[in-house]
Structure 1
């Protein structure tokens, strides 16, 4: 019940904030070269493994899904917020966007070349994270890649930490802890990027990308 309430609260909060969120973050990648570099590396790995479809799970207003499309990937977005999906469809009418949950995506087993989860697991209660990662594994084809982005907790003594997110309750994760959870789900880490907080950042947290591969 707690997890269900968290999902409902997250959906309602992003429905209410969708317009503002799209205005604030729709062009964010322009000033984030390290993010673009990791997304580019992810795209190259997916293409080298057979160029399957890529799901951007927790796509928000669709700007990152659109970026994946410019990198030559067959990408589509999924988000639990209907207002976010409406904004994405309006901004990028030639791309596919579906309403859905990471906890139970309407995607067949083993069909995706890649899954992107960029700052979308942060609203997942810790007890629900293994189920989410199992779903990522389920929908990926053998050899498929996951790129997951999140904010880092303060150290190994804090595997997860709650923080005051502007939209909905959220969690930070210690990278080694999350990497271990990926291994348990059958996803082996192949690369990691840690971005130190910059003076202009709203929150002074380390940002982490983990690239993992399904065996």
Structure 2
């Protein structure tokens, strides 16, 4: 699968922490009521059985939740170890190795997509191309749910849960993200912020729900 070489440190880092990540994060939706509500809203608007891309799916826990609530998810992750865990834990679902800049999917394959804390690993100049790539694999009118850490700057980890890694977490401004979405062919329909839940890292969280516009509807 084609990938961006600059993303190799992120890939290796998530390969390294995959099992630990699954143990610590794999049940996170159980204590995230707002996330569950937004995912439910996405499923309802996408329609019964709609194919939903889970971009940056990790060990597949969000895809599993989506499947339990009526969607037809396809998980995509940069990390082969994460994809292997997802396939092991959710053998009835489909998971693919892939890069946000080169998604392993056909044009218009999905009715909706979620990208929960996956674009935070992209460099600033990669955000807009990633959104354009997500737009490519969505049907006109398809919804995208984004979640990210609010703020500015970058947090670089060289140690994560006792493992040696090399991964950067970019904090994002929702206004700038909305501009990049608009430029990539989306219109933002909802924008939310919240404080961290007790089980989370102490960062404010941002959510954007955006709809892919058709070519005829685009103004730029």
TM-score over 0.5 for the alignment? Answer: yes
1:16 aligned partner: 16
Q: Which runs of 5+ in 2 are unaligned?
A: 214-220
1:81 aligned partner: 79
State whether residues 59 and 86 of structure 2, in contact with CA within 8 Å, keep that contact through their aligned partners in structure 1.
yes
Please list, as runs of the form range in 1=range in 2, the aligned pairs for 1:84-163 lying within 5 A after superposition: 84-153=82-151, 160-163=152-155
1:30 paired with 2:22, answer no
Structure-2 separation of matches of 1:163 and 1:45: 35
TM-score where L is the length of structure 2: 0.88
Structure-2 separation of matches of 1:170 and 1:31: 22
Structure-2 separation of matches of 1:112 and 1:182: 17
Give the ranges of 4+ consecutive aligned residues of structure 1 lying more than 2 Å apart after TM superposition. 3-6, 164-167, 200-204
2:217 aligned partner: none
Structure-1 separation of matches of 2:86 and 2:4: 25
State whether residues 4 and 99 of structure 2, in contact with CA within 8 Å, keep that contact through their aligned partners in structure 1.
no
Structure-1 separation of matches of 2:67 and 2:35: 15
How far off is 1:201 after superposition? 4.8
Encode CA deviations 1:107-164: one digit per residue, 9 max, x unaligned. 11112101110000110010111110000111110110101110011xxxxxx42124
TM-score where L is the length of structure 1: 0.90
User: What is the SS of the residue equivalent to 1:76?
Assistant: strand
State whether residues 15 and 82 of structure 2, in contact with CA within 8 Å, keep that contact through their aligned partners in structure 1.
yes
State whether residues 62 and 77 of structure 1, in contact with CA within 8 Å, keep that contact through their aligned partners in structure 2.
yes
Structure-2 separation of matches of 1:202 and 1:53: 29
Q: Which runs of 5+ in 1 are unaligned?
A: 154-159
Count residues with an aligned counterpart: 204
Structure-2 separation of matches of 1:212 and 1:66: 22
